[in-house]
A and B are shown apart, each in its own frame.
Chain A
Amino acid sequence: KNEVEQSPQNLTAQEGEFITINCSYSVGISALHWLQQHPGGGIVSLFMLSSGKKKHGRLIATINIQEKHSSLHITASHPRDSAVYICAVRTGTASKLTFGTGTRLQVTL
């Protein structure tokens, strides 16, 4: 079993829909990152969380430390949100990130 599990693996949505991507992890963590990877390959860091909730534009990330679970929400989805979303966790003061396998999102018109 992977230390970081994401669901769903693939997601297709229509423009305007509310989207949720889930991440569960099995180890104690000091931080959780949500990353976005566009078809061209580049990676953008969306959020770094250690507790609670963060919001940036139409993106919201939440984390529940007790349940070892995080969610990434996209409100009013748009085709430009089409990308792979990757959850990654960091344990303690370690530098190593352990990555989930990613959720491939396609938003259609």
Chain B
Amino acid sequence: DSGVTQTPKHLITATGQRVTLRCSPRSGDLSVYWYQQSLDQGLQFLIQYYNGEERAKGNILERFSAQQFPDLHSELNLSSLELGDSALYFCASSVLTGPGELFFGEGSRLTVL
């Protein structure tokens, strides 16, 4: 058990809908990272928050947004969903903002029909 909790584990929705994925980092970790793993693109970095502030952005679509709350949990919002958004979405946390060990959640599997 990594100590990182993601909900929901599975989510099935329709095109055009909006979903929210939630991540609770390990106790004491200030950084939260979001990653997308799709069959054709592999694992890709989406975005990082550190202590409530956006710290780095990767290949995140404009239809996607994220935030980190004062209690350090984070939410990834995906809107106007398309079939190609079907993927595993992982959250990871670390103590610091720079290079350091990462602890991954179990992932949220999103299926868009």
Contacts and interface: CB of A to CB of B under 8 A. Distances in A.
A102 B38 CA distance: 13
Contacts of B99: 30-31, 48, 50, 90, 93
B58 A96 contact: yes
Interface in B92-106: 92, 97-106
Tell me what chain A mostly uses at the interface: helix, strand, loop, or mixed.
Answer: strand
Interface in B74-113: 88, 90, 92, 97-107, 109
B88 A44 contact: no
Interface of A: 30-31, 33, 35, 40-45, 48, 50, 86, 88, 90, 93-99, 101-102
Contacts of A40: 106
Given A50-B99, A96-B58, A43 B104 contact: yes
21 contacts: A31-B99, A33-B102, A40-B106, A42-B104, A43-B107, A44-B2, A44-B104, A45-B101, A45-B102, A45-B103, A45-B104, A86-B43, A88-B43, A95-B33, A95-B55, A95-B98, A97-B33, A97-B35, A97-B45, A99-B44, A101-B42
Contacts of B90: 43
B42 A102 contact: yes
Interface residues of B, number: 27
Contacts, number: 58
Contacts of B48: 95-96
A88 B99 CA distance: 12
A8 to B, nearest CB: 16
Interface in B16-36: 31, 33, 35
Determine which residue in B43, B92, B99, B109 has the highest number of CB atoms from chain A within 10 A of its CB, and name it: B99
B12 to A, nearest CB: 16
